[in-house]
Amino acid sequence: MSDLLKKIDARTKLAGTNKLEILLFTLGLDQRSNRRENFGINVFKVREVMRTPDITQAPEMPPAVEGMVSLRGNLIPVIDLAKYVGVQTECRPDIMIVSEYNGHTQGFLVEAVDTILRLDWSQMRVPPEMLNNNMRGLVTAVTELESGKLVMMLDVEKVLAETNDFDDSHDFKIIQPQEDLMGSTVFFADDSTVARKQITRTLDALKLNYIESINGKRAWDELQKIAAQADITGQPVRSMVQMILTDVEMPEMDGYMLTKAVKSDPRFAGIPILMHSSLSGGSNQKLGQSVGVDAYVSKFEPQKLTDAIITMLRSTQSK
């Protein structure tokens, strides 16, 4: 399995190509439907794949959290994805994907890993409503491979939010609106319902206006409509939108491509772009900078996001 992932660190040329690489995995044969569903995870979020080590049980853990494992001297939580998703299997999966999100490491138990596929984000579609309902809103994107195999991208941010008992309400209570920025408009795009909720809570606390979109393609379409309206009224787009906040991983068009599109269109001159992503590694920040991102902040740290938004909006005002 180490051979499968040994080249992940070298996969740094995907920014701005609207491509991604996903590690395919299964959770087991569902005893109710007698089917195996296929899932994917971005390889940039995978640190390694290994046989599951001994798991130490811990008290008062959420149902899908099996316990903790010691990995190179660090204790990390282990989540049984089959149990979380609701796939009823005969036995607990014995493969663990070690993943890093938002600077935090955790293990995901899966039945098996398959291969790494390179796809275009345009192949990843917003999940149909029926699938979304069946999967309890856990799927952010879906694609059909040439073999006919259906692959679903799990909303891992939602998984982590729902298996973590951390109360972050205090983080939003201490956010104070800035009088000089009230009335500013932030346009943001993110495919995760959890992420969009976190962003709107931050913007509401700052008393800012906002326009939201569920992926890069729809964001770009909406931004073009705003630009067309600005042309009609004879005003610059930056008078209608003062900054753009974007995720990286999104179906149809990722955040890198959205950034390239905005930065290459002179109508959006003067509007800064803040990248907000759970891909928190330094290499991913460099990838964002390579396509013109003005700043980068990792999820989910409300105060850091607040500081970045305030700094960016004030820099826009000074121009």
Highest-pLDDT range among 27-36, 120-129, 200-209: 200-209
For residues 9 and 49, state if they share a domain.
Answer: yes
Range of the domain at 154: 2-162
When divided into structural domains, the chain yields a total of 2
Taken in order 132, 29, 52, 64, the sign of the CA dihedral is: positive
For residues 136 and 214, state if they share a domain.
Answer: no
For residues 136 and 23, state if they share a domain.
Answer: yes
pLDDT (0 to 100) of residue 319: 63
pLDDT (0 to 100) of residue 170: 72
For residues 178 and 158, state if they share a domain.
Answer: no
The residues, ordered by sequence, that sit 6+ positions from 56 with a Cβ below 8 Å of its Cβ are: 67, 68, 69, 70
pLDDT tens for each residue of 52-110: 988 998 777 878 899 999 988 888 999 999 888 887 777 778 899 998 877 778 999 99
User: What is the C-alpha separation between 88 and 42, in angstroms, rounded?
Assistant: 25
Share of the chain above pLDDT 90, in %: 36
Residue 5 has pLDDT above 70, yes or no: no
For residues 78 and 210, state if they share a domain.
Answer: no
For residues 84 and 202, state if they share a domain.
Answer: no
* DSSP letter string, 8-27: GGG----TTTTEEEEEEEE-
| The model's pTM | 0.77
For residues 237 and 137, state if they share a domain.
Answer: no
| Cβ neighbours around 38 below 10 Å, total | 15
| Chain center to CA of 22 | 14
pLDDT tens for each residue of 104-158: 789 999 999 988 888 877 788 888 877 777 777 788 888 888 888 889 888 887 8
